[in-house]
Amino acid sequence: MFQPSNSLLILNNSLNSIDLFELIFHFEIILCFIKELSIKNNNILILNFINQWLKLESYNITFIEGFSLKHIIVFYELIEEQIANSIIHNIDEKFKIPLTQQMKDSINDIINYYDTENQNQQLISAKAFAFALKRFIYRFLLIDSNIENLNLNIYLLDFTLNLWNDVEEKLIEKLFPTYLLVSHAYNCYNFIVAEIEKTVNERQNNTSASTFRKTSTRTKKFKKFTG
């Protein structure tokens, strides 16, 4: 079965030889052709479709060999995410209003920073929240617009925009902060990412400390036994 993690690995392994901006442009062309031609068979291989309709053989996209049209959206979003990682920091300063400490505390109250298997279903996944914010910033804030003073929930609660991945919509609607403006999105994203990294580091440190204590205990027992 096709998994996003597998495709991301393929994409990352191809970054040295691929211009992602040109690549996403070609994928947009493919999507337009699929729509215009009303293609119904999503099992057509992407490369076969390209060779039949777009004649892009000279462009190096052989890394998608074996994948069909049903994977095209996933690939597009993976490429989009890679591009977003490098350019979302280029937005206008008016979209970089700092969060107050009260905002940060309130955000932490509604977010779960732990892995899925330990996830409290009553809180919003930190990774899902950060992902939605990054996608919003990339799609809406890189162009000159006057939306900085609008409530962020206008966009983040519009699920037709496909900003979220694998979330319970009712939970997002219930918990999403009403006090956040569009101008807070960037620093909200940075804050959540930093908190995720801090949580990961704390867990790693706790694991290391636990391992050290267990090793130390076994060593003491061994010395006592052999002494």
Lowest mean pLDDT among 8-17, 24-33, 120-129, 150-159: 8-17
pLDDT computed for residue 225 by the predictor? 55
Lowest-confidence pick of 53-57, 94-98, 210-214: 210-214
Q: Is the dihedral angle over the CA atoms 30, 145, 158, 116 positive or is it negative?
A: positive
Domain boundaries, the chain: 4-90, 93-222
Nearest of 183, 199, 204 to residue 111 by alpha carbon: 199
125 pairs with which residues across the strands? Answer: 112
pLDDT at 1: 39
Show the 3-state SS of 87-147.
HHHHCCHHHCCCCCHHHHHHHHHHEECCCHHHCCCCCEEHHHHHHHHHHHHHHHCCCCCCC
Averaged pLDDT of the chain: 81
| 59 pLDDT above the threshold of 60 | no
